[in-house]
Structure 1
Amino acid sequence: METPKPTLQPQVIVAMKGHPGTGKSTIAAAIATALRCPLIDKDDIRDATLSLSSTATSSALNDLSYAAMWRVASTQLRTGLSVVLDSPLSQRGHLDSVLRIAGGSHRVVIVECRPSDEAEWRRRVEMRGSEGHKPATWRDMELLLEGYGGCTEYDVGETLIEFMLML
Protein backbone atom coordinates (compact mmCIF):
# COMPACT_ATOMS: atom_id res chain seq x y z
CA MET A 1 0.00 0.00 0.00
CA GLU A 2 1.35 3.40 -1.00
CA THR A 3 1.73 6.09 1.65
CA PRO A 4 -0.30 9.15 0.69
CA LYS A 5 1.74 12.26 0.05
CA PRO A 6 1.04 15.13 2.42
CA THR A 7 -0.95 17.92 0.89
CA LEU A 8 1.06 21.12 1.02
CA GLN A 9 -0.88 24.22 1.87
CA PRO A 10 0.03 27.32 -0.11
CA GLN A 11 2.29 29.60 1.86
CA VAL A 12 0.95 32.91 3.06
CA ILE A 13 2.79 36.21 3.12
CA VAL A 14 1.35 38.41 5.84
CA ALA A 15 2.66 41.92 5.21
CA MET A 16 2.16 44.59 7.83
CA LYS A 17 1.49 48.17 6.70
CA GLY A 18 1.40 51.35 8.76
CA HIS A 19 3.37 54.10 10.44
CA PRO A 20 5.70 53.58 13.40
CA GLY A 21 3.89 53.37 16.73
CA THR A 22 0.61 52.02 15.36
CA GLY A 23 1.00 48.48 16.77
CA LYS A 24 2.41 46.69 13.72
CA SER A 25 5.17 44.86 15.56
CA THR A 26 2.91 43.71 18.38
CA ILE A 27 0.32 42.38 15.95
CA ALA A 28 2.98 40.88 13.65
CA ALA A 29 4.48 38.92 16.55
CA ALA A 30 1.04 37.61 17.54
CA ILE A 31 0.28 36.53 13.96
CA ALA A 32 3.67 34.83 13.52
CA THR A 33 3.19 32.99 16.81
CA ALA A 34 -0.33 31.89 15.87
CA LEU A 35 0.77 30.73 12.40
CA ARG A 36 4.02 29.26 13.77
CA CYS A 37 6.01 30.91 11.01
CA PRO A 38 9.02 33.23 10.77
CA LEU A 39 8.64 36.91 11.58
CA ILE A 40 10.96 39.04 9.45
CA ASP A 41 11.27 42.53 10.88
CA LYS A 42 12.73 45.21 8.61
CA ASP A 43 13.70 47.23 11.68
CA ASP A 44 15.89 44.38 12.95
CA ILE A 45 17.78 44.45 9.67
CA ARG A 46 17.92 48.26 9.61
CA ASP A 47 19.22 48.40 13.19
CA ALA A 48 21.98 45.95 12.21
CA THR A 49 23.19 48.57 9.69
CA LEU A 50 23.56 51.39 12.25
CA SER A 51 27.35 50.96 12.28
CA LEU A 52 27.32 51.87 8.56
CA SER A 53 25.57 55.20 9.18
CA SER A 54 28.81 57.17 8.80
CA THR A 55 29.50 55.71 5.35
CA ALA A 56 26.04 55.41 3.78
CA THR A 57 22.91 57.53 3.62
CA SER A 58 19.88 56.66 5.70
CA SER A 59 17.94 56.13 2.48
CA ALA A 60 20.53 53.68 1.15
CA LEU A 61 20.52 51.74 4.42
CA ASN A 62 16.73 51.63 4.41
CA ASP A 63 16.75 50.31 0.83
CA LEU A 64 19.33 47.71 1.85
CA SER A 65 17.13 46.66 4.77
CA TYR A 66 14.14 46.13 2.51
CA ALA A 67 16.24 44.21 -0.03
CA ALA A 68 17.50 41.91 2.73
CA MET A 69 13.97 41.41 4.05
CA TRP A 70 12.69 40.44 0.58
CA ARG A 71 15.61 37.98 0.18
CA VAL A 72 15.03 36.32 3.54
CA ALA A 73 11.28 36.09 2.86
CA SER A 74 11.90 34.47 -0.53
CA THR A 75 14.18 31.89 1.06
CA GLN A 76 11.61 31.04 3.73
CA LEU A 77 8.87 30.64 1.11
CA ARG A 78 11.12 28.34 -0.96
CA THR A 79 11.52 26.11 2.10
CA GLY A 80 7.74 25.83 2.40
CA LEU A 81 7.17 28.30 5.22
CA SER A 82 4.72 31.15 5.41
CA VAL A 83 6.16 34.47 6.59
CA VAL A 84 5.09 37.60 8.43
CA LEU A 85 6.80 40.76 7.19
CA ASP A 86 6.95 43.59 9.69
CA SER A 87 7.64 46.89 7.93
CA PRO A 88 5.80 50.15 7.26
CA LEU A 89 5.22 49.08 3.63
CA SER A 90 5.26 52.82 3.07
CA GLN A 91 5.59 52.84 -0.71
CA ARG A 92 3.67 51.16 -3.49
CA GLY A 93 7.02 49.73 -4.67
CA HIS A 94 7.26 47.80 -1.39
CA LEU A 95 3.88 46.20 -2.04
CA ASP A 96 5.03 45.41 -5.58
CA SER A 97 8.03 43.60 -4.09
CA VAL A 98 5.74 41.52 -1.86
CA LEU A 99 3.60 40.62 -4.89
CA ARG A 100 6.73 39.74 -6.91
CA ILE A 101 7.89 37.42 -4.12
CA ALA A 102 4.43 35.83 -3.98
CA GLY A 103 4.69 35.18 -7.70
CA GLY A 104 1.04 34.21 -8.01
CA SER A 105 1.57 30.98 -6.05
CA HIS A 106 1.42 32.36 -2.51
CA ARG A 107 -1.45 34.14 -0.82
CA VAL A 108 -0.81 37.71 0.34
CA VAL A 109 -2.57 39.26 3.30
CA ILE A 110 -2.01 42.93 4.09
CA VAL A 111 -2.62 43.95 7.70
CA GLU A 112 -2.79 47.73 7.87
CA CYS A 113 -2.56 49.46 11.22
CA ARG A 114 -3.91 53.00 11.29
CA PRO A 115 -4.15 55.31 14.26
CA SER A 116 -7.68 56.38 15.12
CA ASP A 117 -6.54 58.35 18.15
CA GLU A 118 -3.66 60.72 17.38
CA ALA A 119 -3.06 61.48 21.06
CA GLU A 120 -2.60 57.77 21.84
CA TRP A 121 -0.39 57.33 18.79
CA ARG A 122 1.74 60.28 19.87
CA ARG A 123 2.00 58.85 23.40
CA ARG A 124 3.20 55.52 22.02
CA VAL A 125 5.86 57.14 19.83
CA GLU A 126 7.17 59.35 22.60
CA MET A 127 7.01 56.61 25.25
CA ARG A 128 9.28 54.37 23.23
CA GLY A 129 11.93 57.09 22.88
CA SER A 130 15.04 56.51 20.84
CA GLU A 131 15.15 52.90 19.60
CA GLY A 132 17.75 52.53 16.87
CA HIS A 133 16.62 54.48 13.83
CA LYS A 134 12.92 54.93 14.75
CA PRO A 135 11.33 58.33 15.41
CA ALA A 136 12.07 59.30 19.02
CA THR A 137 9.75 62.31 19.26
CA TRP A 138 6.47 63.38 17.75
CA ARG A 139 8.36 66.00 15.72
CA ASP A 140 10.55 63.19 14.30
CA MET A 141 7.33 61.41 13.31
CA GLU A 142 5.97 64.53 11.62
CA LEU A 143 9.20 64.90 9.64
CA LEU A 144 9.05 61.23 8.63
CA LEU A 145 5.47 61.61 7.41
CA GLU A 146 6.40 64.76 5.47
CA GLY A 147 9.23 62.79 3.86
CA TYR A 148 6.77 60.12 2.74
CA GLY A 149 5.00 62.80 0.73
CA GLY A 150 1.71 60.95 0.92
CA CYS A 151 3.11 57.82 -0.72
CA THR A 152 1.74 55.65 2.11
CA GLU A 153 -1.75 56.00 0.66
CA TYR A 154 -2.16 53.49 -2.15
CA ASP A 155 -4.69 50.89 -3.11
CA VAL A 156 -3.58 47.35 -2.29
CA GLY A 157 -5.80 45.90 -5.01
CA GLU A 158 -8.87 43.74 -5.16
CA THR A 159 -6.99 40.44 -5.17
CA LEU A 160 -5.52 41.06 -1.73
CA ILE A 161 -7.15 40.73 1.63
CA GLU A 162 -6.70 43.87 3.68
CA PHE A 163 -7.41 44.15 7.38
CA MET A 164 -7.63 47.60 8.91
CA LEU A 165 -6.71 47.72 12.56
CA MET A 166 -7.27 50.90 14.49
CA LEU A 167 -5.61 51.99 17.73
Structure 2
Amino acid sequence: MAKEQENRRPGTPIVIAMKGHPGTGKSTLARALSSALKIPLLDKDDVRDCTLALQQRHQPHDGLLNDLAYDVVFAVAATQLSNGLSVVVDSPLSRRARLDRLVRLASSHGARVAVVECRPGDEAEWRRRLEARRDAGSWHKPATWRDLERLLEAYGGCTEYDLGGVPRLVVDTTSGGDGGAAAAEEFVAAVRGGRWGGCAAREE
Protein backbone atom coordinates (compact mmCIF):
# COMPACT_ATOMS: atom_id res chain seq x y z
CA MET A 1 0.00 0.00 0.00
CA ALA A 2 2.85 2.41 0.81
CA LYS A 3 4.38 1.91 -2.66
CA GLU A 4 0.99 2.43 -4.31
CA GLN A 5 0.43 5.68 -2.42
CA GLU A 6 3.93 6.87 -3.33
CA ASN A 7 3.31 6.17 -7.02
CA ARG A 8 0.07 8.16 -7.01
CA ARG A 9 1.01 11.11 -4.80
CA PRO A 10 1.18 14.61 -6.30
CA GLY A 11 4.66 15.81 -7.14
CA THR A 12 7.02 16.09 -10.03
CA PRO A 13 5.27 14.87 -13.20
CA ILE A 14 6.92 12.06 -15.10
CA VAL A 15 6.82 11.01 -18.73
CA ILE A 16 6.99 7.23 -18.97
CA ALA A 17 8.29 6.72 -22.50
CA MET A 18 7.80 3.23 -23.87
CA LYS A 19 10.40 1.96 -26.35
CA GLY A 20 10.59 -1.16 -28.50
CA HIS A 21 9.73 -2.78 -31.80
CA PRO A 22 6.23 -3.86 -32.86
CA GLY A 23 4.93 -6.93 -31.06
CA THR A 24 7.34 -6.66 -28.13
CA GLY A 25 4.60 -6.07 -25.57
CA LYS A 26 4.93 -2.28 -25.28
CA SER A 27 1.24 -1.52 -25.48
CA THR A 28 0.26 -4.23 -22.99
CA LEU A 29 2.80 -2.95 -20.48
CA ALA A 30 1.87 0.69 -21.20
CA ARG A 31 -1.79 -0.05 -20.45
CA ALA A 32 -0.83 -1.84 -17.24
CA LEU A 33 1.24 1.13 -16.07
CA SER A 34 -1.43 3.66 -17.00
CA SER A 35 -4.06 1.67 -15.12
CA ALA A 36 -1.93 1.02 -12.06
CA LEU A 37 -0.67 4.61 -11.74
CA LYS A 38 -3.95 6.24 -12.83
CA ILE A 39 -2.30 8.50 -15.40
CA PRO A 40 -3.18 9.21 -19.05
CA LEU A 41 -1.97 6.86 -21.77
CA LEU A 42 -1.07 8.48 -25.10
CA ASP A 43 -0.66 5.89 -27.85
CA LYS A 44 0.94 7.05 -31.09
CA ASP A 45 -0.83 4.25 -32.96
CA ASP A 46 -4.21 5.66 -31.95
CA VAL A 47 -3.36 8.81 -33.88
CA ARG A 48 -1.76 6.94 -36.77
CA ASP A 49 -4.87 4.80 -37.10
CA CYS A 50 -6.92 7.96 -37.70
CA THR A 51 -4.80 8.97 -40.69
CA LEU A 52 -6.08 6.16 -42.92
CA ALA A 53 -8.38 8.52 -44.85
CA LEU A 54 -5.47 10.86 -45.54
CA GLN A 55 -3.36 7.92 -46.66
CA GLN A 56 -6.06 6.72 -49.06
CA ARG A 57 -6.99 10.12 -50.50
CA HIS A 58 -3.63 11.83 -50.76
CA GLN A 59 -1.12 8.97 -50.55
CA PRO A 60 1.59 11.01 -48.84
CA HIS A 61 4.93 9.53 -47.90
CA ASP A 62 4.44 7.30 -44.85
CA GLY A 63 6.98 9.37 -42.93
CA LEU A 64 4.79 12.47 -43.06
CA LEU A 65 1.84 10.80 -41.37
CA ASN A 66 4.12 9.13 -38.86
CA ASP A 67 5.63 12.52 -38.00
CA LEU A 68 2.13 13.93 -37.67
CA ALA A 69 1.21 11.18 -35.21
CA TYR A 70 4.22 12.02 -33.05
CA ASP A 71 3.41 15.74 -33.26
CA VAL A 72 -0.12 15.14 -31.99
CA VAL A 73 0.94 12.82 -29.17
CA PHE A 74 3.66 15.19 -27.98
CA ALA A 75 1.26 18.15 -28.11
CA VAL A 76 -1.28 16.27 -25.99
CA ALA A 77 1.50 15.23 -23.60
CA ALA A 78 2.51 18.87 -23.21
CA THR A 79 -1.08 19.77 -22.28
CA GLN A 80 -1.22 17.05 -19.63
CA LEU A 81 2.15 18.05 -18.19
CA SER A 82 1.09 21.70 -18.04
CA ASN A 83 -1.77 20.52 -15.81
CA GLY A 84 0.69 18.74 -13.54
CA LEU A 85 -0.23 15.26 -14.80
CA SER A 86 2.19 12.45 -15.57
CA VAL A 87 1.72 10.51 -18.81
CA VAL A 88 2.61 7.22 -20.45
CA VAL A 89 3.71 7.74 -24.06
CA ASP A 90 3.43 4.53 -26.10
CA SER A 91 5.54 4.62 -29.26
CA PRO A 92 8.50 2.71 -30.71
CA LEU A 93 10.81 5.65 -29.88
CA SER A 94 13.03 4.25 -32.60
CA ARG A 95 15.09 7.39 -33.18
CA ARG A 96 17.18 9.42 -30.74
CA ALA A 97 15.66 12.65 -32.07
CA ARG A 98 12.24 11.56 -30.77
CA LEU A 99 13.65 10.99 -27.29
CA ASP A 100 15.51 14.31 -27.35
CA ARG A 101 12.29 16.09 -28.24
CA LEU A 102 10.44 14.35 -25.42
CA VAL A 103 13.17 15.28 -22.94
CA ARG A 104 12.99 18.93 -23.99
CA LEU A 105 9.22 18.88 -23.70
CA ALA A 106 9.34 17.34 -20.22
CA SER A 107 12.06 19.73 -19.07
CA SER A 108 10.02 22.75 -20.17
CA HIS A 109 7.28 21.59 -17.78
CA GLY A 110 9.56 20.60 -14.90
CA ALA A 111 8.93 16.90 -15.51
CA ARG A 112 11.20 13.87 -15.55
CA VAL A 113 11.49 11.23 -18.29
CA ALA A 114 11.87 7.50 -17.70
CA VAL A 115 12.23 5.00 -20.56
CA VAL A 116 10.75 1.53 -20.29
CA GLU A 117 12.15 -0.54 -23.14
CA CYS A 118 10.62 -3.89 -24.14
CA ARG A 119 13.07 -6.46 -25.51
CA PRO A 120 11.65 -9.99 -25.75
CA GLY A 121 14.23 -12.64 -24.96
CA ASP A 122 12.22 -15.38 -26.63
CA GLU A 123 12.15 -14.61 -30.36
CA ALA A 124 9.76 -17.44 -31.14
CA GLU A 125 7.23 -16.07 -28.66
CA TRP A 126 7.74 -12.56 -30.06
CA ARG A 127 7.02 -13.85 -33.54
CA ARG A 128 3.95 -15.76 -32.36
CA ARG A 129 2.52 -12.66 -30.71
CA LEU A 130 3.20 -10.45 -33.70
CA GLU A 131 1.51 -12.75 -36.18
CA ALA A 132 -1.35 -13.66 -33.83
CA ARG A 133 -2.50 -10.05 -33.75
CA ARG A 134 -2.71 -9.84 -37.55
CA ASP A 135 -6.51 -9.64 -37.82
CA ALA A 136 -6.85 -7.09 -35.03
CA GLY A 137 -3.75 -5.09 -35.90
CA SER A 138 -3.65 -1.59 -37.31
CA TRP A 139 -3.32 -1.22 -41.08
CA HIS A 140 0.11 0.44 -40.80
CA LYS A 141 1.71 -2.17 -38.52
CA PRO A 142 3.80 -5.13 -39.69
CA ALA A 143 1.46 -8.12 -40.05
CA THR A 144 4.09 -10.83 -40.61
CA TRP A 145 7.55 -11.57 -39.31
CA ARG A 146 8.96 -10.74 -42.75
CA ASP A 147 7.25 -7.34 -42.57
CA LEU A 148 9.00 -6.74 -39.27
CA GLU A 149 12.35 -7.84 -40.68
CA ARG A 150 11.95 -5.34 -43.53
CA LEU A 151 11.12 -2.61 -41.03
CA LEU A 152 14.20 -3.36 -38.94
CA GLU A 153 16.35 -3.42 -42.06
CA ALA A 154 15.02 0.03 -42.98
CA TYR A 155 15.96 1.33 -39.54
CA GLY A 156 19.57 0.43 -40.26
CA GLY A 157 20.46 0.10 -36.60
CA CYS A 158 19.31 3.60 -35.63
CA THR A 159 17.07 2.16 -32.90
CA GLU A 160 20.14 1.28 -30.81
CA TYR A 161 21.24 4.61 -29.41
CA ASP A 162 22.63 6.05 -26.21
CA LEU A 163 19.91 7.60 -24.06
CA GLY A 164 22.19 10.33 -22.80
CA GLY A 165 21.60 9.68 -19.12
CA VAL A 166 17.83 9.25 -19.28
CA PRO A 167 16.87 6.51 -16.79
CA ARG A 168 15.93 3.28 -18.52
CA LEU A 169 14.52 -0.08 -17.54
CA VAL A 170 14.82 -2.91 -20.08
CA VAL A 171 12.10 -5.53 -19.69
CA ASP A 172 11.86 -9.02 -21.19
CA THR A 173 8.13 -9.24 -21.80
CA THR A 174 8.34 -12.92 -22.80
CA SER A 175 9.75 -14.13 -19.49
CA GLY A 176 6.32 -14.85 -18.00
CA GLY A 177 4.83 -13.45 -14.84
CA ASP A 178 3.27 -9.99 -15.08
CA GLY A 179 5.27 -8.97 -18.17
CA GLY A 180 7.51 -6.69 -16.14
CA ALA A 181 4.71 -4.51 -14.75
CA ALA A 182 5.82 -4.73 -11.11
CA ALA A 183 9.43 -3.93 -11.95
CA ALA A 184 8.32 -1.04 -14.16
CA GLU A 185 6.17 0.41 -11.37
CA GLU A 186 9.08 0.25 -8.93
CA PHE A 187 11.38 1.84 -11.51
CA VAL A 188 8.94 4.69 -12.16
CA ALA A 189 8.53 5.31 -8.43
CA ALA A 190 12.31 5.53 -8.02
CA VAL A 191 12.71 7.97 -10.92
CA ARG A 192 9.76 10.08 -9.79
CA GLY A 193 11.18 10.24 -6.28
CA GLY A 194 14.67 11.17 -7.49
CA ARG A 195 16.12 7.93 -6.13
CA TRP A 196 17.25 6.42 -9.42
CA GLY A 197 21.01 6.57 -9.61
CA GLY A 198 21.73 4.51 -12.73
CA CYS A 199 21.25 5.06 -16.43
CA ALA A 200 20.05 1.57 -17.32
CA ALA A 201 18.68 -1.56 -15.75
CA ARG A 202 17.47 -4.92 -16.96
CA GLU A 203 14.61 -7.03 -15.69
CA GLU A 204 15.29 -10.60 -16.78
AA aligned to 1:76 is Q
Residue 167 of structure 2 is aligned to residue 161 of structure 1: yes
d(CA) in 2 for partners of 1:73, 1:51 = 24
TM, length-normalised to structure 2: 0.76
AA aligned to 1:19 is H
Give the structure 1 partner of residue 153 of structure 2. Answer: 146
1:40 alignment partner, one of 39, 42, 45: 42
1:106-125 residue pairs with structure 2 within 5 A?
106-125=111-130
Give the structure 1 partner of residue 16 of structure 2. Answer: 14
AA aligned to 1:49 is T
SS state at 2:97 partner = helix
2:79 alignment partner, one of 48, 54, 75: 75
d(CA) in 2 for partners of 1:78, 1:140 = 38
Give identity over the alignment, percent: 56
AA aligned to 2:107 is G
SS state at 1:103 partner = helix
Runs of 4+ in 1 over 4 A off after TM superposition: none
1:34-113 residue pairs with structure 2 within 5 A?
34-54=36-56, 55=58, 56-103=60-107, 105-113=110-118
Contiguous gaps of at least 5 residues in structure 2: 1-8, 175-204
d(CA) in 1 for partners of 2:107, 2:84 = 14
CA offsets per residue over residues 73-95 of structure 1, 9 Å max, x none? Answer: 00110011100000000000110
Shift of 1:8: 4.9
d(CA) in 2 for partners of 1:111, 1:148 = 20
Greater Cα shift, 53-62 or 69-78:
53-62
Contiguous gaps of at least 5 residues in structure 1: 1-6
Task: Give me the CA root mean square deviation.
Answer: 1.3
AA aligned to 1:107 is R
